[in-house]
Amino acid sequence: MFEIFEPVEVATLTLRNRIVRSATWLGLAGRGGEVTDALVSRYEELGAGGAGLVIGEYTFVSREGRHRPGMTGAHEDDRISDLTRWASAIKRGGAAAALQLVHAGGQTRSEWIGDTIPVAPSLAISPQYSETPRELYREEITRILKAFGQAARRAREAGFDAVQIHAAHGFLVNQFLSPLTNLRGDRYGGDLRGRFRFLQEVVVSIQLAAGADFPVLVKLNGSDFLPGGFDLGEACDVAEWLSQRGVAMIEVSGGTPGSGPLKPVRRGVAPGQGEAYFRDQVGAIKRRVACPVALVGGLRSLETLEELLAFGEADLFSLSRPLLCEPDLPRRWQSGDRAPSRCVACNRCFESARSGLGAACGNEEARSRP
C-alpha cells in the first residue's frame, strides 16, 4: 500500500504527500480583493504545516463574479504582484501552490458587485440565491470564459503551480451544471452535454491562456443533494469527460447553500463519527476517471485516510477546518503523533471570518486539547 506521506504525482506536479489543504475562505483580503500581509502570513504558516498541496481560497475572476467582501481577486493584471507574494508564501514551506478560481454567478448580492443585478445561467428562483438574478447574454458568457483564462494566466505568471476551477457549492459553474438553475434553451443548456459545455469551455480557456502544460484542477459536487438537481450519476459523467480533457485532479465535494443539512460544511463530525461524508460520491467518481481524485469533507483521523487509500476510494485527502484549528496537523501526523485532529466541527472559525477578523479556530478547548 502506498503511504499517505509518500510523494504522489498529479500531472506534472510531484507533491510531497497526499494531504491537500482545501481552498478555504479566510476573509482577510482588502476591500478591492487585494492580498494583505495578514493573508500572506496565514498562507506561509499553511505552506510550512506539512501538506503536499495548498489550494489558495476562492478568488474572483471578474468584478461581477465576487461572492462576498473579503475575497481575493485575480481579475486584473495589476494583481499579479499580489498573487506572487501569495504563491511565494505557500511555497517557502515546501508545499505546492494552487489558486482556486470562481465566479459566483447568482450567488451574490448587488451591494457586493457595484449595485448591479447578479447574473446566472437563467432567471430562476432558488434557495441559494438571496436575490433573483438575470440571465446571462451569450456575449457575457464569452467574456466570463475569457476572464477564467486570463486569471489562470496571472496565477501562472505569479508562480502558482496550478489552478482549481470551483465547479461546486452552487457557484456559477455549478449553476450551469444543475437543471434547477440552468433553464437555457441554447447550446449551454438542455441535456447534460449542453449544461457541461460552460465548464468544458472554462477548461479550454485556461489551457489556451495559461498553457496546455499548466495543471487544471476541478472542485466538483458529487451531488447537489437537491431533488431534481445535479446528482451523482451526472457527476460521474462530468468527471469522466473532465478526465478525458486532461484535467489533472478532481476534488469531490457536495451540496449548495440551498441543500439544508446536506450543505458542504457539516457539523457533528468527530473521529470515527460522521467522517468522510462524501465517501460514496468520491468512490463512484474515482471508478470512472483516469486522473487522481481527492476527497474533502469531515476527515479527522489518519486511520480514516489510510482506510480510504487502502480500499482505493481516493488518491488525495483534502482538509479544511482541521487546518484552521491546527495548521501543522500534517507535519504532526508525519512525525508519528497519530492523535486525530482537534477540530470539533463547531464552525466558529467561519463566524470569525464573517466578522472581519479572519477565519480562525474560535474553540479554545479544541485548540488546547493534547
Checking if the pLDDT of 368 tops 80, the result is no
Range of the structural domain that residue 127 is part of: 8-340
> What digits encode the pLDDT tens for the residues 296-312?
999 999 999 999 999 99
Output the pLDDT for position 344: 81
Cell, residue 89 = 508564501
> What digits encode the pLDDT tens for the residues 139-151?
999 999 999 999 9
> What digits encode the pLDDT tens for the residues 207-252?
999 999 999 999 999 999 999 999 999 999 999 999 999 999 999 9
CB 185 within 8 Å of CB 219? no
Q: How far apart are CA 323 and CA 270, in angstroms?
A: 15
Q: How far apart are CA 50 and CA 184, in angstroms?
A: 45
Q: How far apart are CA 298 and CA 331, in angstroms?
A: 19
Checking if the pLDDT of 366 tops 60, the result is no
User: Amino acid identity of 330?
Assistant: P
Mean residue pLDDT of the chain comes to: 93
> What digits encode the pLDDT tens for the residues 76-103?
999 999 999 999 999 999 999 999 999 9
Position 358 in a domain: no
Output the pLDDT for position 1: 36
Position 352 in a domain: no
CA-CA-CA-CA torsion sign (338, 344, 347, 350): negative
Cell, residue 124 = 430562476
Taking the CB of residue 233, how many other CB atoms lie within 10 A of it? 11
Position 370 in a domain: no
> What digits encode the pLDDT tens for the residues 107-116?
999 999 999 9
Nearest to 289 by CA among 335, 236, 211, 219: 236
Position 348 in a domain: no
Nearest to 105 by CA among 164, 185, 176: 176
Position 193 in a domain: yes
Report the residue count for the chain.
370
Please state the pTM of the whole predicted model: 0.95
Checking if the pLDDT of 364 tops 60, the result is no
> What digits encode the pLDDT tens for the residues 258-293?
888 887 877 777 787 788 999 999 999 999 999 999
Cell, residue 343 = 477540530
Output the pLDDT for position 270: 76
Q: How far apart are CA 191 and CA 145, in angstroms?
A: 20
Checking if the pLDDT of 367 tops 60, the result is no
**pLDDT category, 342, cuts 50, 70, 90?**
confident
The CA-CA-CA angle for residues 284, 287, 288, to 5°, reads 95
Output the pLDDT for position 226: 95
CB 333 within 8 Å of CB 35? no
Instruction: State the burial class of residue 35 (Cβ atoms within 10 Å of its Cβ: 0-12, 13-18, 19+).
Output: buried
The structural domain count of the chain equals 1
Output the pLDDT for position 234: 98
Instruction: List the CATH number of the domain containing 290.
Output: 3.20.20.70
Angular region, 33: left φ>0, alpha ψ -120 to 50, beta rest: left
Half-sphere exposure of 302 (CA within 13 A, CB side): 15
Position 350 in a domain: no
Nearest to 201 by CA among 237, 233, 242, 157: 242
Position 368 in a domain: no
Q: How far apart are CA 314 and CA 296, in angstroms?
A: 10
Position 215 in a domain: yes
